[in-house]
């Protein structure tokens, strides 16, 4: 993953430990998480995207790179 970050400097890597946990009881079967777990993950991603967008709005070079 570090090689990818070097190659693509604007790549955002989300550390697993910062993501909402998915315990066994978060699953309705072996593949699908519950609606509550889906909503919690969606809120997490939405908040993260807002944070990234806010940072980018204050510093457009963080997306476009230096001119």
Q: Is residue 40 part of a domain?
A: yes
Domain of residue 59 covers 26-67
Does position 67 have pLDDT exceeding 50, yes or no? no
Q: Is residue 1 part of a domain?
A: no
What's the predicted TM-score (pTM) here? 0.71
Q: Are 28 and 34 in contact (CB under 8 A)?
A: yes
Q: Is residue 19 part of a domain?
A: no
Q: How confident is the model at residue 65 (pLDDT cuts 50, 70, 90)?
A: very low
Q: How confident is the model at residue 14 (pLDDT cuts 50, 70, 90)?
A: confident
Q: How confident is the model at residue 9 (pLDDT cuts 50, 70, 90)?
A: confident
Does position 61 have pLDDT exceeding 60, yes or no? no
Q: Are 14 and 48 in contact (CB under 8 A)?
A: yes
């Amino acid at each position: 993953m570090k090689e990818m970050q070097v190659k693509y400097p604007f790549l955002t890597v989300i550390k697993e430990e910062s993501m909402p946990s998915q315990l066994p009881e978060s699953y309705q079967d072996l593949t699908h998480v519950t609606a509550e777990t889906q909503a919690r993950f969606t809120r997490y991603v939405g908040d993260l995207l807002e944070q990234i967008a806010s940072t980018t709005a204050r510093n457009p070079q963080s997306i476009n790179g230096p001119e």
